[in-house]
A and B are shown apart, each in its own frame.
Chain A
Amino acid sequence: MAKRIDVEDLNAWYGSFHAVADVSMTIEPKQVTALIGPSGCGKSTFLRALNRMHEVVRGARVSGQVLLDGQDIYGEGVDAVAVRRSIGMVFQRPNPFPTMSVRDNVAAGLKLNGVRKKSELDDVVERSLTMAGLWDEVSHRLDRPGGGLSGGQQQRLCIARALAVEPEVLLMDEPCSSLDPISTLRIEDLIGELKDRYTIVIVTHNMQEAARVSETTAFFNIAGAGEPGRLIEMGPTTKIFTKPDDTRTEDYITGRFG
């Protein structure tokens, strides 16, 4: 189920602004890979390029290869819709569909794919919410609007929604940055549980978080304003946080800038 991602020479632009330059890396399956770095270093842009969400922004484009188990998601004849369907995403701010109920939010992706039978949908809704650790809290109010939940619950609802379509990879863009510490802890625990089944890539601002949840860490940086973000160093999380090879990484993790 979980797949491996090989990125080769990835560049990303917004219009004429070069946001990410020459990134190559391998993301292992059934692991959590954390992307860290200062604001504007291109880590979120890089993440969005991994499931072709980058090109949703007007004027945005990408060059290079992203191989999902050997198949280039930017290759000829590859359908961006199918890519996003197999590589799920959770965003910085929880974004449940505001007019839909909790149940409909989770079932939304399945309905798109033609699953209509109520019993099947109900099964998946329960399974996904259980996986996201939300079932006990919302099982009695599945028909209430998703927007009525607390911030942390909304974020877990969004995770359940992403899991419901059974993706192979889960991308998370600072999923805890808008949450309180207790909700953050719950989501971090959840990530630990999910990595047995998925390839997880998480962007985070919070170095402790990266240290807590990830096996591998990649550090991004920019040389200056207007310059593109680059991958500086990637390796086992323990190594990156204890004795990184690059002085810039060391400066960042010891809090000298960022």
Chain B
Amino acid sequence: MALVGPVALRRRSVSRALLGLVGAGAIGLTALLFTATPFQGVLDFVLVAYLLYVVAQTAVSYAVEGARSARNRLALTLLVSALFLALVPLAAVLIYTVQRGVQAISPGFLTHSMNGVGPLEDAGGAYHAIVGTLEQVVIASVISIPLGLLAAVYIVEYGRGRLVYWIRFFVDVMTGLPSIVAGLFIFAFWVLGLHKGFSGFAAGMALAILMIPIVVRASEEMLKLVPNDLREASYALGVPRWRTIVSVVFPAASAGLTTGIILAVARVTGETAPLLLTAFGFDAIRTNPFSGPQSGLPLFVFSQAGSAFDVAVNRAWAGALTLIAIVLVLTVLARVLTRRNVLA
């Protein structure tokens, strides 16, 4: 009557040693294959050896342990491989960018603009672009942080009913907004509609549109983590609601709020597409963000990268390194602050 019956607890299983042997066999066979056939290259070698190993491991497991264990082993091997495969491009991007960037960067790069630099000249730098990016990101922050924070306050502290639903829904829509569309909007509205022309301020507004939903989302999460007891304790002392929010809720959530805001800043600092349509780009130093085209670091990298000349491409790599350094410092800073976060 028993369909599956009693099972033996002890089962034959593939030992570590046997797996090692299978691995060595796969590498050996691949080496043999590479001497005998026109296969070549490190990447191909790793790929072929890996495939051989996976197949052999599954076959051995099937023979020794049976189908269920073989399937288990195969699936788990593929899952772990997926994680490694996901890490490879990250390492490749960072290592390659740092390599090329370090070769290309020079002391003058951070202190000179591109004003009057000829197309083949190995000179000039990103000073004007760094100044532009700084101003644009500050403008974006000044617009989006208060707006985003207050919108989050509304959602968490005051919001009820349809309006909250719609605000949250539109924040979602904004999160998915392609950055180029944000740029197009400011171009259509500010540059074409109001005839204000290209400027760093226009770029700041475009970046603000991208930054607002990130700030709202992060702040919303953090404000929700503040325990209600704290609010009630404050109300019980007769503190008005707005004072409670400003002097009890905000301080309690401050580490988390700062983390969210820094990450948002890091995200928009690297945005290129909106700058193209709003700041437009400019070779000389322009410190006034309110009139006339301006450069920005990502924009600088993009325009140099599009050039056919090596000197320009080198400047692009130097710029990319600078950009990565800035956003990574911001990300690490945000992470450090997260650890101090008492609520998380």
CB atoms of B3 and A78 under 8 A apart: no
Residues from chain B with Cβ under 8 Å of A77 in the complex: 10-13
Residues from chain A with Cβ under 8 Å of B2 in the complex: 166
CB atoms of B10 and A79 under 8 A apart: yes
CB atoms of A75 and B10 under 8 A apart: yes
B1-16 interface with A by 8 A CB criterion: 2-13
CB atoms of B6 and A86 under 8 A apart: yes
A169-226 interface with B by 8 A CB criterion: none
CB atoms of B7 and A82 under 8 A apart: yes
Residues from chain A with Cβ under 8 Å of B7 in the complex: 82, 85-86
CB atoms of A86 and B9 under 8 A apart: yes
Cβ of A73 within 8 Å of any chain B Cβ, yes or no, is yes
Q: How many residues of A contact B (CB 8 A)?
A: 22
Q: CB-nearest residue of chain B relative to A86?
A: B7
Chain B contact residues: over half helix, strand or loop, or mixed? loop
CA distance A112 to B4 in the complex (A): 10
CA distance A168 to B13 in the complex (A): 23
Residues from chain B with Cβ under 8 Å of A112 in the complex: 68
Q: Quote the shortest CB–CB distance from B167 to chain A (angstroms).
A: 32
Residues from chain A with Cβ under 8 Å of B3 in the complex: 110, 113, 115, 120, 124, 166
Residues from chain A with Cβ under 8 Å of B68 in the complex: 81, 112
Residues from chain B with Cβ under 8 Å of A83 in the complex: 9
Q: Quote the shortest CB–CB distance from B16 to chain A (angstroms).
A: 13
Chain B 1-45 near chain A by CB (<8 Å), digits 1 or 0 = 011111111111100000000000000000000000000000000
A61-77 interface with B by 8 A CB criterion: 68, 71, 73, 75, 77
CA distance A78 to B8 in the complex (A): 9
Q: Quote the shortest CB–CB distance from B71 to chain A (angstroms).
A: 11
CA distance A113 to B11 in the complex (A): 15
Cβ of A231 within 8 Å of any chain B Cβ, yes or no, is no
CB atoms of A79 and B9 under 8 A apart: yes
CA distance A86 to B9 in the complex (A): 8
Q: Quote the shortest CB–CB distance from A114 to chain B (angstroms).
A: 8
A68, A78, A115, A168: the one contacting B4 at CB < 8 Å is: A115
CA distance A165 to B7 in the complex (A): 11
CA distance A115 to B2 in the complex (A): 11
Residues from chain B with Cβ under 8 Å of A166 in the complex: 2-6
Residues from chain B with Cβ under 8 Å of A73 in the complex: 9
CB atoms of B5 and A82 under 8 A apart: no
CA distance A68 to B7 in the complex (A): 12
9 contacting pairs across A/B (C-beta < 8 A)? A73-B9, A77-B13, A82-B7, A82-B9, A82-B10, A85-B7, A86-B6, A86-B9, A166-B5
- Beyond the given A71-B10, A112-B68, could you list 14 further A-B residue pairs with CB under 8 A, ordered by the A residue number? A73-B9, A75-B10, A77-B11, A79-B9, A81-B68, A82-B7, A82-B10, A86-B7, A86-B9, A110-B4, A113-B3, A124-B3, A166-B3, A168-B6
